Amino acid sequence: MSVKHDILLDATDEDCPMPMVHSKSALDTMSSGQILKLISNKVGSINNIRTLVANNPYELLSEYKSEDGFVFLIQKN
């Protein structure tokens, strides 16, 4: 899947909730409309990222599993 992203956050091998914490920090610095690509190989990240998006002005554009782990494309609204 090829979607242009503005920031890549590789949180592979980081224990939960750190991928979510780093994602929130990155998204806070981004402008509206920009896209964050997060990669995490921890299953717990799935629910954490979904919750983060549900409780903030973000949109989960895509979520899929790749060779690298779980990939999330999150747009800041």
User: Where in the sequence numbering do the catalytic residues fall?
Assistant: 16
In three-state secondary structure terms, 60 is strand
Burial 36-56 (b: 16+ CB within 10 A, else e): bbbbbbbeebbebbeebbeee
Contact indicator for 27, 36 with CB cutoff of 8 Å: yes
